[in-house]
Structure 1
Amino acid sequence: MKPIAAGDLNEQVTIQTATVTRGTANAEVVTWADVATVWAKVVERGGREPILADRPVMLVSYEVTIRAGVTVTHSDRLTWGDKTLAIDTVTPYRTQGTIVLRCMEVEI
């Protein structure tokens, strides 16, 4: 992997983490809280349109590169503009000082 140039991280993404609480009737309630807003390089990696619940759904995958120094796991998610991205994998590149996140856009 080649080093990240100064101008490559030109998008801002917000890392969010989930908190699960119990609501009425003891049902789980998931709320998302912002952890950090960081500069990132966001690259669309393609899409597909599977049939889910008898209707086509567009799934778009992204590769998001951020600088190391922030804690992020596959349980977290990203917001980028009006898009919400579920994190599938987290790959740190220690020699480059970066983290690569493979994500899938989710409909909220």
Structure 2
Amino acid sequence: MKPLRAADLRNQVTIQRPVQADDGRGGYTTAMSILAKPWAEVVGQDGRESVMEHVLRGISVYRLRIWHRDGIDTGDQVLFDTKVLNIRSCVDPYGTRRELLIMADTAGTLP
């Protein structure tokens, strides 16, 4: 894979994290907190089908590359166009803190 260049970053995405807040009645509500809105290289990798909740659903897998930033984790999500993607892995491919390689998919997200 070639090193990331500014010209590769063609899609602006939103990285968000679920945050739980006390609802005042002994429970909690979950809201999404925006961590960043970086420009990214987004490439569709493959698709497959999986049975989730007794329903056959299509799953799409994406590879994203962004400039390096701390604090992105596998519990976070990426909004890309109208898709919500769950981050499955987030690594610094060269160990240089220059870029992040994120693998994400649509499995288990709400449509």
Q: What's the TM-score once normalised by structure 2's chain length?
A: 0.85
SS class of match (1:42): strand
Task: Write 1 or 2 for the structure with the bigger share of strand.
Answer: 1
Question: Following the alignment from structure 2 to structure 1, what is the Cα–Cα distance between the partners of residues 5 and 66?
Answer: 12
% of aligned pairs identical?
Answer: 24
Report the alpha carbon displacement of residue 2 of structure 1 after superposing the two structures with TM: 1.8
Question: Following the alignment from structure 1 to structure 2, what is the Cα–Cα distance between the partners of residues 46 and 70?
Answer: 27
TM-superposition CA deviations, 1:34-91 (whole Å, max 9, x none): 1110010111111111122222111111111111134311111111111111101111
Structure 2, gaps ≥5 residues long: none
1:31 is aligned to 31
Question: Following the alignment from structure 1 to structure 2, what is the Cα–Cα distance between the partners of residues 46 and 30?
Answer: 30
SS class of match (1:72): coil
Question: Following the alignment from structure 2 to structure 1, what is the Cα–Cα distance between the partners of residues 73 and 39?
Answer: 17
1:69-108 superposed matches below 5 A: 69-93=69-93, 94-95=95-96, 97-105=98-106, 106-108=109-111
Question: Following the alignment from structure 2 to structure 1, what is the Cα–Cα distance between the partners of residues 79 and 38?
Answer: 11
Q: Mean Cα displacement is larger for which, 62-71 or 83-92? A: 62-71
User: 1:8–1:41: 8 Å Cα contact kept in structure 2?
Assistant: yes
Q: Mean Cα displacement is larger for which, 7-16 or 48-57? A: 48-57
2:17 is aligned to 17
Give the AA of the match of 2:27: A
Report the alpha carbon displacement of residue 96 of structure 1 after superposing the two structures with TM: 6.8
2:63 is aligned to 63
CA distance 1:60–1:24, shift in 2 (3 Å): farther
Give the AA of the match of 2:19: T
Q: How many residues align?
A: 108
